[in-house]
């Protein structure tokens, strides 16, 4: 029988909630995916040293500014270069893949790096419709089958039963932890029904954050793997030694969103002093990126505490699309220091 895991402790149990890292392996202007992967591993090694709980990578396709398309391969690279931090997907877009293939990939990872691999699942394409068609061939049926595909994937990781004709080798019996990711109520309801942990993509789609968390918690059914709800929320992080510097760093992500909305996505651009965008574009980007902790140490602490208080999150997943790698490391270092100070009651 699968091991019934106790949900991680929450802030209500007098302990600081864990912080984790979401990395998109950003490809900076003028750089290559190889450069991005080296930066990803370096960030993961620092995150491990700073006691972040997880380091997740996201599946995107046909985007010149994001290098983590072959997500399971990059997870193996990061897990092989670290020792203790959990490494996983945030997420794998399951409709792009046959569940058996994902079970074999993550069964392989879990065999190589025991008790360190997470499998976060999303149902979006992670790309534009033309690329999604090249990946999936049948867009409608693959999206509609997401709940069934999740259940199928669970079966592949469960203990084999007599007469089971199809097994994930490796994968069977490894009970790789599954998470459901989402930006609406759909995955919140499914995660609750299946008794799985849930991560909300509030770092780029905050509109339904509170309602999705309420649905997830109120409808949650204890399962063989989780005895109470465990909710994680995504937060953009732009921490620096001064608020002015943090605001300047933030312009790289703002440019990325503006370009994406214009239909001209590209590599991550260096910071600018003045954004060249219309008021409508700026307002739209500000709305999408509302779940952001930005500023110096005090401002970031206040921002993170506000998000924790507002959501009751059991865990924060921090992401920082920062052009300068040293500045990105510094941002996560400041957040780790803030977390430790909050845990100590300082």
pLDDT in tens, 195-244: 999 999 999 999 999 999 999 999 999 999 999 999 999 999 999 999 99
297 occurs within a structural domain? no
Strand partners, 54: 86
161 occurs within a structural domain? yes
| Model pLDDT, residue 15 | 73
CA distance 255 to 252: 5
Indicate whether 58 pLDDT > 80.
Answer: yes
Neighbours of 325 (CB within 10 A): 18
Q: Which tokens sit at 99?
A: 């569940």
Mean residue pLDDT of the chain comes to 92
Q: Please, which pLDDT band fits residue 43 given cuts at 50, 70 and 90?
A: very high
Indicate whether 106 pLDDT > 80.
Answer: yes
275 occurs within a structural domain? no
Q: Which tokens sit at 232?
A: 């994680």
CA distances to 9, 11, 25, 140, 297 from 14, rounded to whole Å, are 9, 5, 34, 46, 23
- Tell which residue, 108, 100, 93, 25, has the closest CA to residue 59: 93
CA distances to 8, 85, 241, 330 from 230, rounded to whole Å, are 8, 19, 32, 28
Find the angle CA(261)-CA(62)-CA(191) to the nearest 5 degrees. 80
Could you tell me what percent of the chain has a pLDDT over 70? Answer: 90
242 occurs within a structural domain? no
Give the CATH number for residue 64. 3.20.20.30
200 occurs within a structural domain? yes
6 occurs within a structural domain? no
CA distance 110 to 94: 18
Q: Which tokens sit at 303?
A: 């921002």
136 occurs within a structural domain? yes
Number of folded domains that form the chain: 1
CB 198 within 8 A of CB 187: yes
244 occurs within a structural domain? no
pLDDT in tens, 149-190: 999 999 999 999 998 999 999 999 999 999 999 999 999 999
Q: Which tokens sit at 88?
A: 């996983």
For residue 192, the enclosing domain spans: 17-236+316-343
| Model pLDDT, residue 141 | 60
């Amino acid at each position: 029988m699968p091991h019934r895991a106790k949900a991680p402790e929450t802030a209500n149990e007098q302990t600081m909630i864990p912080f984790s890292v979401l990395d998109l392996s950003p490809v900076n202007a003028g750089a290559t995916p190889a450069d991005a992967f080296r930066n990803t591993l370096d960030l993961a090694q620092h995150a491990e040293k700073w006691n972040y709980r997880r380091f997740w990578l996201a599946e995107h396709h046909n985007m010149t500014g994001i290098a983590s398309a072959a997500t399971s391969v990059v997870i193996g690279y990061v897990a092989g270069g670290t020792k203790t931090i959990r490494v996983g997907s945030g997420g794998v877009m399951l409709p792009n893949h046959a569940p058996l293939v994902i079970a074999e990939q993550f069964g392989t990872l879990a065999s190589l790096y025991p008790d360190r691999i997470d499998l976060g699942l999303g149902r979006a394409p992670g790309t534009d419709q033309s690329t999604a068609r090249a990946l999936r061939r049948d867009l409608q049926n693959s999206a509609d089958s997401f709940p069934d595909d999740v259940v199928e994937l669970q079966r592949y990781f469960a203990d084999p039963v007599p007469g089971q004709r199809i097994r994930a080798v490796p994968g069977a019996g490894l009970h790789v932890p599954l998470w459901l990711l989402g930006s609406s109520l759909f995955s919140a309801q499914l995660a609750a029904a299946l008794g799985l942990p849930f991560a909300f993509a509030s770092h780029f789609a905050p509109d339904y954050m509170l309602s999705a968390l309420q649905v997830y918690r109120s409808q949650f059914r204890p399962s063989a793997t989780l005895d109470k709800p465990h909710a994680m929320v995504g937060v953009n992080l732009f921490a620096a030694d001064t608020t002015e510097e943090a605001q300047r760093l933030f312009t790289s992500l703002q440019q990325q969103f503006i370009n994406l909305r214009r239909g001209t996505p590209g590599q991550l651009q260096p910071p600018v002093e003045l954004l060249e965008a219309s008021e409508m574009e700026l307002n739209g980007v500000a709305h999408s990126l509302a779940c952001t902790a930005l500023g110096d140490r005090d401002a970031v602490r206040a921002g993170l505490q506000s998000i924790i208080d507002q959501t009751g999150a059991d865990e924060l997943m921090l992401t920082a699309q920062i052009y300068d790698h040293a500045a990105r490391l510094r941002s996560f270092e400041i957040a780790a220091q803030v977390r430790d100070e909050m845990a100590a009651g300082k």
